[in-house]
């Protein structure tokens, strides 16, 4: 199909041809002395400053022009004068350079009458032609479809997006710093596996041509990180891309970034303390205070966070006591009796008891949580890899950190008994065969690894995208992922 060009694109391609007669329109490099973000800190009179960036604004006049160039971290104003550049170079700029192009400039720092640090340009180099015009510059980019599909334009045009993705990078750096300071070692585990394990979720399936086998994209790195503990790592973590072939909404993605950590000789209560300290440490480093903004309200997170059982939280927001309705049949009948409309991809009749409790909790209670709480005492069938509580074997030693209706962290004391683990995975496999697509499959290789012996372990996982969403007050989790997956456009 023949490419149709707009009038502006035709004009820009003509300018590209003219530029090529004078210089290489796409040179290989430009030596800079300063980042754009640092120019505002330089003293007036500082000379031989070399910067580079994309032109996002130009005001061309007769013998004097102003230009603003930008990168992801900052911007800078340039002053171009015919007296300093000469007629030929200044004419080149006025006739051939457009908003969206890249230039490198050298000059002297001065402050304008409006108080803005500016570079008085003594020379410049053309560094790249934009063949398409940027979106309308004064109002930014507002079309959500374009923002998600063409994130590069969003980053060019919208300050909020630039700040959010810089924040995300700093957040991940602070997580790594915290974990490293606690003595944890970062490793990598497989993205492709012959078994979908590590969490209750519906997997993505693909085919490995060289081995001629179907494989699963990683649901979670859990069982491989535990294999590392079996091998001798006492504290280990991974920042992992995970894939779950489930529904998409404002707080869920099918492919997402999470961190998981496992510590030998610890229990879930140790990790509750660790996680509270980690989040508080990160918030203090990034914001300078122990406050976050939730739904426009300031939430103080400085005090000790509340711990509440799943049973008590559900009872607080409904009349259903999961200790009384302690089987799938009883709970399902009660849900129907209460006329609760629960939206589940898997029919409620096909869910096991644990997943049914989880759906109930999400329906009646989770959205009511604003301040950070640790949710504990989950049903055993909801946590097939977690250690059973010593006093009540129907519950696990598990916790979830919930903030503003979002589950940020999930952790527990790990099940290290291979015989019990095998029994539970057999039960999960049976549920899967009965139609529960989120149930886990049998993983005999993991059981075999466990049989070589495991120390007491406690582990946890945290969704990084969701934490960014909470801390930056983003309406949609896709605002926190630089390149979210989208349906292909219909080019017809």
Taking the domains of the chain in order of start, what are their residue ranges?
A: 7-134, 157-480
The sheet with strand 192-193 has its strands ordered as 192-193, 213-217, 205-208
Q: Which residues of the chain have pLDDT under 70?
A: 1, 137-139, 491-492
For the domain 157-480, what is the CATH superfamily, name and number? Bira Bifunctional Protein; Domain 2 (3.30.930.10)
DSSP-derived 3-state class of residue 142? coil
User: How do beta strands 291-294 and 255-264 pair?
Assistant: unpaired
Q: Using the structure block, give the residue that is written with the tokens 């739904």.
A: 295
Q: Which residues pair with 67 in a beta bridge?
A: 58, 78
Assessment of whether the complete model's pTM goes beyond 0.75: yes
Please report the pLDDT score of residue 250 as a whole number.
86
Do the strands 291-294 and 235-243 form a parallel or antiparallel pair, or are they unpaired? unpaired
Helices within 267-396 (DSSP H only):
268-287, 310-317, 328-337, 353-364
The residues, ordered by sequence, that sit 6+ positions from 146 with a Cβ below 8 Å of its Cβ are 135, 153, 154
Best CA proximity match to 73, nearest among 58, 59, 52, 57: 52
**In whole angstroms, what is the distance from residue 63 CA to residue 83 CA?**
8
For the chain, the 3-state helix, strand and coil shares in percent, each to the nearest 5, are 35, 25, 40
Q: Tell me what pLDDT residue 139 has.
A: 62
Query: What number of other Cβ atoms are within 10 A of residue 30's Cβ?
Result: 17
Alpha helix ranges (H) inside 288-408: 310-317, 328-337, 353-364
Gap between the Cα atoms of 150 and 339, Å rounded: 43
Edge-to-edge order in the sheet of strand 398-403? 185-186, 235-243, 255-264, 457-463, 406-413, 398-403, 373-376, 306-309
Residue 399: the pLDDT is: 96
Could you tell me the two tokens for 303?
């005090």
User: Would you state the structure tokens that stand for residue 482, as one six-digit string?
Assistant: 């630089």
Beta bridge partners of 103: 53, 126
List the end-to-end C-alpha distance of the chain, in Å, as a whole number.
10
Q: What is the pLDDT of residue 343?
A: 82
In this structure, CATH architecture of domain 7-134:
Beta Barrel (2.40)
> Which pLDDT score is estimated for 138?
54
Distance CA(328)–CA(325), nearest Å, equals 8
CB 87 within 8 A of CB 21: no
């Amino acid at each position: 199909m023949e490419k149709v060009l707009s009038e502006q694109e035709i004009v820009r391609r003509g300018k590209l041809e003219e530029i090529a007669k004078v210089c290489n329109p796409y040179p290989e490099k430009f030596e800079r002395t300063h980042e754009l973000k640092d120019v505002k800190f330089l003293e007036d009179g500082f000379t031989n400053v070399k910067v580079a960036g994309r032109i996002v604004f130009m005001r061309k006049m007769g013998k004097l022009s102003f230009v603003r160039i930008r990168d992801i971290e900052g911007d800078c104003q340039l002053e171009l004068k015919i007296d300093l550049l000469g007629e030929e170079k200044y004419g080149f700029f006025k006739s051939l350079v457009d908003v969206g192009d890249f230039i490198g400039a050298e000059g002297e720092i001065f402050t304008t009458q409006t108080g803005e640090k500016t570079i008085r340009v003594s020379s410049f180099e053309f560094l790249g032609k934009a063949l398409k015009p940027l979106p309308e510059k004064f109002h930014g980019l507002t079309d959500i479809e374009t923002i998600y599909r063409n994130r590069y334009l969003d980053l060019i045009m919208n300050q909020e997006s630039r700040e959010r993705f810089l924040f995300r990078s700093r957040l991940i750096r602070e997580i790594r710093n915290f974990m490293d300071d606690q003595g944890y070692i970062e490793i990598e585990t497989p993205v492709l596996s012959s078994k979908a394990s590590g969490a209750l979720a519906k997997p993505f399936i693909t085919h490995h041509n060289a081995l001629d086998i179907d494989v699963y994209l990683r649901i979670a790195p859990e069982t491989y990180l535990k294999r590392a503990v079996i091998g001798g790592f006492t504290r280990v973590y991974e920042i992992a891309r995970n894939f779950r072939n489930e529904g998409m909404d404002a707080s869920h993605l099918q492919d997402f970034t999470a961190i998981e950590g496992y510590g030998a000789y610890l229990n879930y209560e140790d990790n509750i303390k660790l996680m509270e300290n980690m989040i508080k440490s990160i918030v203090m480093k990034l914001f300078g205070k122990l406050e976050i903004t939730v739904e426009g309200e300031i939430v103080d997170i400085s005090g000790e966070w509340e711990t509440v059982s799943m049973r008590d939280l559900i009872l607080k927001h409904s009349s259903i006591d999961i200790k009384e309705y302690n089987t799938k049949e009883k709970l399902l009948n009660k849900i129907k009796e209460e006329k609760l409309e629960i939206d589940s991809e898997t029919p409620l009749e096909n869910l096991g008891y644990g997943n049914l409790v989880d759906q109930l909790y999400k329906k009646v209670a989770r959205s009511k949580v604003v301040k950070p709480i640790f949710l504990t005492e989950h049903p055993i069938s909801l946590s097939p890899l977690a250690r059973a509580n010593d006093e009540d074997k129907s519950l696990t030693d598990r916790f979830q950190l919930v903030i503003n209706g979002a589950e940020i962290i999930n952790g527990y004391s790990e099940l290290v008994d291979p015989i019990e683990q095998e029994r539970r995975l057999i039960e999960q496999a049976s549920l899967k065969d009965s139609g529960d697509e989120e149930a886990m499959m049998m993983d005999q290789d993991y059981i075999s690894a466990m049989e070589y012996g495991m120390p007491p372990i406690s582990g946890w996982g945290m969704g990084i995208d969701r934490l960014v969403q909470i801390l930056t007050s983003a309406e949609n989790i896709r605002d926190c992922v630089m390149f979210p997956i989208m349906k292909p456009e219909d080019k017809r």
